[in-house]
Amino acid sequence: MTSPNPSGTGKVKARLSRDIVLAKALEMVDAEGLDALTMRRLGQELGRDPMSLYRYAENRAALLDGVSELVLDQLTIHQDDPDWKAQLRAIAHNLRALALQHPNVVPLLVTRPLSTPLGLRPLGTLRPLEKILSLLVSAGFEPSDALHVYRVYYGFLYGHILNELQEFVVDPEENEVLLRLGLHRLPAKEFPKLRALAPALSDYDGANELDQGLTILLSGLEAQLSRQAAAVQPG
């Protein structure tokens, strides 16, 4: 009887798919960072010839795009939600959670779109834009205004996420706030206000900070929408 595996090990390798390849790529990025992800390393992790992976991603750039799509596919957006403000708040917290779960992927989400024309970006990275535009237009925003809202919204959101990921504690076991955050190294005469804010910086709550910023942003957008609606009312 012929062995199912020419190597004689008795093991049959599972059939590869794009989903399997990207899942392993994301696992590598989560564990070791973006620099660790190469076709050669990915092939080793999957136990395959790296050349066989090119049928699933034509190059490393496509592999990185696939990782971005894989993460963004987990972003839930209900574009038909009549409460557009609650939906934008939910999307923001959902994206923040994904960023904290996959911090090494955040640079891909923030910087890679800047280097690629809109129509040439992977479809998976454009679906959140399409859904949020639909949400905003349904809420009453003009399409061009909806695009401006999307840009402001994501600009704020990515800014918050990057800021939260950069919150760095020098010594978590230190009781003195100035020492724990490393602020004692700042010249007291040049940075009096920053040093004085040590307790507030120490008590940083990412979810609460995000909510406060969203409240300011959404209140302004609601006022804009109300003015727009009033302007079209018959006199």
The whole-number average pLDDT for the span 142-159 is 91
133, part of any domain: yes
The whole-number average pLDDT for the span 104-129 is 80
Pairwise CA distance, residues 207 & 100, whole Å: 11
User: What does the pLDDT read at residue 4?
Assistant: 47
More confident residue, 125 or 200: 125
Tokens representing 130 are 């399409």
Confidence of residue 2 (pLDDT cuts 50, 70, 90): very low
Same domain, residue pair 44 and 83: no
Same domain, residue pair 87 and 47: no
Pairwise CA distance, residues 137 & 143, whole Å: 6
Q: Rounded to 5 degrees, what are φ and ψ at 16?
A: -75, 155
Domain with 46 in it: 18-58
More confident residue, 211 or 198: 211
Same domain, residue pair 85 and 41: no
The DSSP secondary structure of 107-136, one letter per residue, reads HHHHHGGGGS-GGGS-HHHHHHHHHHHHHH
CATH number of the domain encompassing residue 33: 1.10.10.60
Confidence of residue 196 (pLDDT cuts 50, 70, 90): confident
> With 90 as the cut, is the pLDDT of residue 139 above it?
yes
110, part of any domain: yes
Same domain, residue pair 22 and 107: no
Confidence of residue 141 (pLDDT cuts 50, 70, 90): very high
The DSSP secondary structure of 55-92, one letter per residue, reads GT-SSHHHHHHHHHHHHHTT----TT-S-HHHHHHHHH
Structural domain count, the chain? 2
Same domain, residue pair 52 and 84: no
Same domain, residue pair 139 and 42: no
More confident residue, 103 or 201: 103
Same domain, residue pair 112 and 148: yes
User: What does the pLDDT read at residue 85?
Assistant: 95
Q: Report the mean per-residue pLDDT for the chain.
A: 83
Pairwise CA distance, residues 134 & 205, whole Å: 31
Confidence of residue 35 (pLDDT cuts 50, 70, 90): very high
Pairwise CA distance, residues 33 & 25, whole Å: 10
The pTM of this model reads: 0.76
Residues 6 or more apart whose CB falls under 8 angstroms from that of 205 comprise none
Quick one: CA dihedral 95, 98, 100, 106, positive or negative? negative
Confidence of residue 200 (pLDDT cuts 50, 70, 90): low
Same domain, residue pair 87 and 117: yes
Confidence of residue 192 (pLDDT cuts 50, 70, 90): confident
The whole-number average pLDDT for the span 118-141 is 88
The DSSP secondary structure of 131-197, one letter per residue, reads HHHHHHHHHT--HHHHHHHHHHHHHHHHHHHHHHHH---S-TT-SSHHHHTTGGGS-TTT-HHHHHT
Same domain, residue pair 125 and 27: no
198, part of any domain: no
CATH number of the domain encompassing residue 221: 1.10.357.10
Same domain, residue pair 104 and 212: yes
